[in-house]
A and B are shown apart, each in its own frame.
Chain A
């Protein structure tokens, strides 16, 4: 079962695409899906994870539009069938 990540702004540029499908299914966690994404698109890793391998604070992770870091169980949140994941960073241009 595949899960789709939607990427915004410079994250999409680094990944080369706005949408990336990874192998992660119901019962896996958001963190598992993130690991798959970073394995598939290695240019994203430095931008998304800090030196300790933790998610950078300005990177938001959404599951079906809900911020898993604030409203769910963070990267431990379990996936359900048909979930759509998204990663978005702040942008600063004006």
Chain B
């Protein structure tokens, strides 16, 4: 930490944080010195980026290889009508720049792959998975398990969301679960329809993305109980939240007792994301 003091503008901007004992000037400083990689600047990424930036998380990396489409705007609220056709990372970076000059945004207009995930994740404290496909989700999970990087997971389907946190802190005793402990392999491609086919309630990713942002802020502050070992299932239609306990699976292919996956290069991140049969 270089300087523990917040300047007068920061004391004003973050006054509602600083006044709380759980945050205080030191907590706010932690946020300003914290960093998060947000993978996906879509439905989940939009509210997450907005709240993390507003909170003063000092460095936000954004990964996305898409451009803004008009059909995104019903839920991807970091982008505006004038952004249609622009890269999502640029549109999101402009939003953050207008909101909070304390935040440095690093844009990566590319798709996450087994080759680039190491470099992209390396310099960040925590990763927020706001992607929209199983290949990226399994790749991020495996990489974060193998490098012990904390990962916030959120995913949506029509009116339902799933959200949980994987701290990936492994000491050999009472180790936490990972995404593959719950879902060892992805469904066969084509079995689960995507948002474009099924539709999605626009506000749904707002709720789920905000829970993910909350988890990241708590992690950076070092406060509260993480949503770990619990998969929170949200149903917007019933307006219900259900918690399913998640336990480490001894047969997990990446964090189990005898893991098959020792490197992300062991896996072809397509189809069911199972280990390559070579």
Binds A, one of B39-47, B53-61, B118-126, B165-173: B39-47
Known: A9-B157, A9-B160, A10-B157. A92 touches B137 (CB 8 A): yes
Interfacial chain A residues near B244, Cβ < 8 Å: 60, 62, 65, 67, 86, 88
The answer to whether B192 has its CB under 8 Å from any CB of chain A is yes
The answer to whether A54 has its CB under 8 Å from any CB of chain B is no
Partner of A90, one of B40, B134, B158: B134
Interfacial chain A residues near B155, Cβ < 8 Å: 90-94
Interfacial chain B residues near A94, Cβ < 8 Å: 40, 42-45, 129-133, 154-156, 205
The residue on A at minimum CB distance from B187 is: A58
Binds A, one of B16-24, B90-98, B144-152, B193-201: B193-201
The answer to whether B245 has its CB under 8 Å from any CB of chain A is yes
A57 touches B183 (CB 8 A): yes
Partner of A10, one of B133, B183, B192: B192
Q: CA separation between A92 and B39, bound complex, in Å?
A: 13
The answer to whether B185 has its CB under 8 Å from any CB of chain A is yes
The answer to whether B218 has its CB under 8 Å from any CB of chain A is no
Partner of B187, one of A56, A65, A67: A56
The residue on A at minimum CB distance from B153 is: A90
Partner of B185, one of A47, A57, A86, A93: A57
The answer to whether A31 has its CB under 8 Å from any CB of chain B is no
Interface residues on chain A, size class:
20 to 34
A90 touches B160 (CB 8 A): no
Interfacial chain B residues near A13, Cβ < 8 Å: 158, 198
The answer to whether A66 has its CB under 8 Å from any CB of chain B is yes
The answer to whether A1 has its CB under 8 Å from any CB of chain B is no
Q: CA separation between A91 and B131, bound complex, in Å?
A: 11
A60 touches B183 (CB 8 A): yes
8 A Cβ contacts from B181-213 to A: 181-187, 191-195, 198, 200, 205
The residue on A at minimum CB distance from B231 is: A88
The residue on A at minimum CB distance from B251 is: A70
Q: Could you write out 10 A-B pairs with CB less than 8 Å apart?
A: A58-B186, A62-B244, A65-B244, A70-B247, A70-B249, A90-B186, A91-B160, A91-B162, A94-B40, A94-B44
6 closest pairs, A vs B, by CB? Answer: A94-B132, A91-B157, A93-B156, A90-B183, A58-B183, A9-B157
Q: Which residues of A contact B (CB under 8 A)?
A: 8-10, 13, 18, 47, 56-58, 60, 62, 65-67, 70-71, 86, 88-94
